[in-house]
């Protein structure tokens, strides 16, 4: 069980890092290379793609935190 959760933790870490790098910053960051828009919206993203990127990042980050807590308890 611990091995499976540890492998999941590695995969989640890589995915969360990738998603964070996809976000646009002051200079449009890495997301500009993939056509993710930069607009002003409720959470900084104006386009639907940017809002979905925010949702995915938050959701997978919460899964990462939950997995970390479970691994610490085992």
Least confident range of 1-5, 18-22, 45-49, 51-55: 45-49
Model confidence at 8, pLDDT cuts 50, 70, 90, reads: very high
Q: Which residue has the higher pLDDT, 33 or 17?
A: 17
Query: How is the chain split into domains, by residue range?
Result: 43-74
Tokens of 53: 């990127």
| pLDDT for residue 4 is more than 80 | yes
Instruction: Return the closest-CA partner of residue 56 out of 23, 7, 8, 11.
Output: 23
| pLDDT for residue 3 is more than 90 | yes
d(CA 14, CA 33): 19
- Reduce the secondary structure of 15-63 to three states and give it as a string: HHHHHHHHCCCCCCCHHHHHCCCCCCCCCCCCCHHHHHHHHHHHHHHHH
């Amino acid at each position: 069980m611990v091995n499976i959760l540890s492998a999941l933790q590695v995969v989640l870490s890589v995915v969360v890092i990738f998603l964070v790098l996809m976000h646009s910053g002051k200079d449009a960051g890495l997301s500009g290379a993939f056509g993710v828009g930069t607009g002003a919206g409720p959470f900084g993203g104006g386009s639907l793609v940017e809002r979905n990127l925010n949702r995915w990042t938050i959701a997978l980050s919460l899964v990462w935190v939950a997995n970390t807590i479970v691994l610490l308890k085992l």
